[in-house]
Amino acid sequence: MKVAVVGATGLVGRSMLRVLEERSFPVDELIPVASERSVGNKVVFKNRKVPVVSLRDGLAMKPNIALFSAGGSVSKEKAPLFAAQGTVVIDNSSAWRMDPDIPLVVPEINGKVLTREDKIIANPNCSTIQMVMVLAPLHQAYRIKRIIVSTYQSITGTGKAAVDQLENERRGVEGPKAYPHPIDMNCIPHCDVFLENGYTKEEMKLVNETRKILGDNKLKISATAVRVPVVGGHSESVNIEFKNSFEMDDVYRYLRKFPGIIVLDDPSKNEYPMPVLAKGKDDVFVGRIRKDISKKETLNVWIVADNLRKGAATNAVQIAEYLIIHDLI
């Protein structure tokens, strides 16, 4: 099993390497791929130093699976080249997510859509993944009518440049800026670029990707995405209106039963999800679960997950695991 990680030197790429190792994924040959300036550098995998190769050389090595996390333009151009030679590409960028012919997958929810013919598979946006993990069992039970979500997103979602900006600001050092404003001691209601409808691209990802993953284009969704000075995970406040009535005991039961979800909800003991608890973990944490006192058949939840793990690297590796387990590769 030859596995390429395209973008192996980035934050998500390095997380992919850790997850592959931690989950004992059957890697016989690792092919770390990065930009020309990183070629010749080495990444550590299973206590071995493996040299980074170029995209051209990575393609020539004909991997069985290629985990892509090198940006949308690279994915759009290079993923079809890998796919054409039989490599299964699992792409972490937004390049292919809304293509009607490309599956957008969270394995616990819709892994069954995958077939042996799928050579490009889209990994959803980090903030979408953690939200749909909680929504899926509730949608199945009660049918969701409307969702209002506000996100509090870690700077690691932007990348290393954002982490550097925060660290520089905390040390009082001038340096390059990933954001148009200071991020330390601040919240920036601006994730990705603004669109003509006044929403950002990140906010519309939450809308469109959620509909595609849950298979319901009639879902009403409104999102506000905010960048916060946190390293460790994204948090989301989600208000969910259902078509059908629900009982709280059943809500807890459905959530606790769903694979990959941990219910952490005991305010009397100050127990609720927080990024410091989610950092480095693959689970999605949900708490502050309560009925909306202003509207019938409506629920409030607070969702937290490590955006580099389940929000990116872990979900991609889980897709690869699903393909192997179900003999689709």
How many helices and strands (H and E) does the chain possess? 10, 13
What whole-number distance in Å separates Cα of residue 328 and Cα of residue 312?
21
Q: Give me 118's structure tokens.
A: 């799928």
For residue 257, with 0-12 CB atoms within 10 Å meaning exposed, 13-18 middle and 19 or more buried, which class applies?
A: exposed
Catalytic residue among 126, 181, 187, 190: 126
Residue 234 is a catalytic residue: yes
**Separation in Å, CA 164 to CA 69, 87, 170, 233, 276:** 20, 35, 10, 17, 19
Catalytic residue among 139, 181, 191, 234: 234
Q: Are 203 and 225 in contact (CB under 8 A)?
A: yes
3-state SS assignment for residue 239:
strand
CB within 8 A of 317, min separation 6: which ones?
16, 19, 20, 23, 25, 67
Q: Are 224 and 207 in contact (CB under 8 A)?
A: no
Per residue, the 3-state secondary structure of 98-136, as one string, reads CCCCCCECCHHHHHHHCCCCCCEEECCCHHHHHHHHHHH
Pairing, β 234-242 against β 298-305: antiparallel
Secondary structure letter of residue 291 according to DSSP? E
Residue 191 is a catalytic residue: no
Active site residues: 126, 234
